Amino acid sequence: MASDGPTAGERFLRGLIPENPVYRQLLGMCPTLAVTGGMKTAMTMAGAVAFVLICANVLTSLIRNLLKPHLRILVFTLTIAAFVTIADRVLAYAMYDMSQELGPYIPLIIVNCVIICRCEVCASKQSVVVAASDAAGQSIGFAMALASIAAVREILGSGTFFGLRVMPEAWPNWGIMVMPPGAFLTLGLLLGLANWIGAVREKRSGAV
């Protein structure tokens, strides 16, 4: 079946910035706020989401011709839940500390809208290659967004980056940054920044 719609390359590139899941679509806010206190947790979360997203997208794309329209959400949820459980178990096996620290947020990937949204928008309509590159693009976009927030919060809040000291010893930790208010403030300010950059670029391209 010939896929109509964007090509694989387009899908991939769109996921990075123009359709960034966090900064453009405002999806997956729960992990974005909850696990970005440090880079380690944020990147583990991004990895888990990438695994689930790519697997779910590929599988959904493979079975897209068999889908009954009114049962598709059920199939998506089932698929995602299965992969999330696998990701959860593998984390507990390989990175026990991280899995303890992330706690319920790994199982909560099941309700992360980014994944079901990609299944619905892309994977259930387009070929496996397109779906896979779309998932990869979205995952990288999600990871970049989490990294940007987590970097700000960890550096200001703990003076470290990936647990390594980057600020001088005398650096006073900004306690608020590792607490929930810090997550909201950072996300809000970075969202504003992203919008501002977007607006400036649009103006420039309009002027040219």
Partner 1 sequence: MPDTKKVNYLAEAWLVLTLAVSFGAALAGVHLALNDGIQTNKRNETYDQIPRLIPGANKDRVEAGAFSVDVGGAVVERTFYRALAPDGKTTMGYMLRSSGMGYVDKIEVLIGVDVKVKNITGLYVLAQIETPGLGSRIRTKDFVSQFIAKSTTRAIFAMKTAQPPESNDIQAITSATISSQSVCSIVNRSVREFREYLDASIQRELALEHIPEMFPGVSREQIIDIPSGKQVVYKVLDADGRVIAWVGDGKRMGRWDRVELLVAVDADAQTITKVHVVDQRERYWKKVVKAGYLDSFVGKHAGKIVMVKPKIEPAEQQVQAVTKATITSMAICRIVNEVVRRLKRSVADVQGGAAVKER
Partner 2 sequence: MTEATDNNQQTDTPPRAPAGAGPVIHVAPSPHSFSKSLTTRWMMADVLLAAAPLVAWAIFQFGAEALLQLVVCVGGCVVAEAVFTAMRGRCPLGAMKDLSAPVTGVILAMSLPCTAPWYVGFIGACAAIGIGKVVFGGLGQNIFNPAMVGRAFVMICFAWALAAGGYVQLDEETAAAAADPESGMAMTAKEPLDVISQATPMDVLKTRIKDRKEAAPTTSPARDDESPVALSRLFLGNVNGSIGEVSTLACLIGGLYLCWRRTAAWQIPAGVLLASVITAGLAHLGGGGAGLSMADFVGYHMFGGALMFGAFFIATDPVSSPITPKGRWIFGIGLGLFIMLFRTMSVFPEGVMFAVLMMNAVVPLINRWTIGTPVGGPVPERK
HSE-up of residue 94 (Cα within 13 Å, Cβ side): 8
- Interface residues with partner 1 (CB under 8 A) are 63, 66-68, 71, 74-75, 78-79, 81-82, 85-86, 89-90, 92-93, 96, 100, 157, 173, 175, 178-179
* CA distance linking residue 135 with residue 198, whole number of Å: 23
Output 100 or 195, the one with its CB closest to partner 2: 195
Our finding on whether 206 is near partner 2 (CB under 8 A) is: no
* CA distance linking residue 138 with residue 120, whole number of Å: 14
Whose structure tokens read 């697997």?
A: 55
Q: Which amino acid is at 13?
A: L
Options 7, 188, 201, 203; binder of partner 2; rule CB under 8 A: 188
- Cβ within 8 Å of residue 44, ≥6 positions away: 35, 91, 95, 98, 102
Output 135 or 177, the one with its CB closest to partner 2: 177
Options 29, 90, 117, 185; binder of partner 2; rule CB under 8 A: 185
Output 15 or 37, the one with its CB closest to partner 1: 37
Options 29, 179, 191, 194; binder of partner 2; rule CB under 8 A: 179
* CA distance linking residue 79 with residue 65, whole number of Å: 16
Q: Which of 148, 154, 177 is nearest to 167 (CA)?
A: 154
Residue 108 binds what, of partner 2, partner 1, none (CB under 5 to 8 Å, by partner type)? none
Task: Tell me if 115 sits within 8 A of 80, measured CB to CB.
Answer: yes
Our finding on whether 172 is near partner 2 (CB under 8 A) is: yes
Whole-number minimum distance, CB 181 to partner 2, in Å? Answer: 7
Our finding on whether 176 is near partner 2 (CB under 8 A) is: yes
Whole-number minimum distance, CB 153 to partner 2, in Å? Answer: 12
CB atoms within 10 A of CB 168: 7
Residue 185 binds what, of partner 2, partner 1, none (CB under 5 to 8 Å, by partner type)? partner 2
Our finding on whether 160 is near partner 2 (CB under 8 A) is: no
Task: Tell me if 102 sits within 8 A of 45, measured CB to CB.
Answer: yes
Whole-number minimum distance, CB 22 to partner 2, in Å? Answer: 19
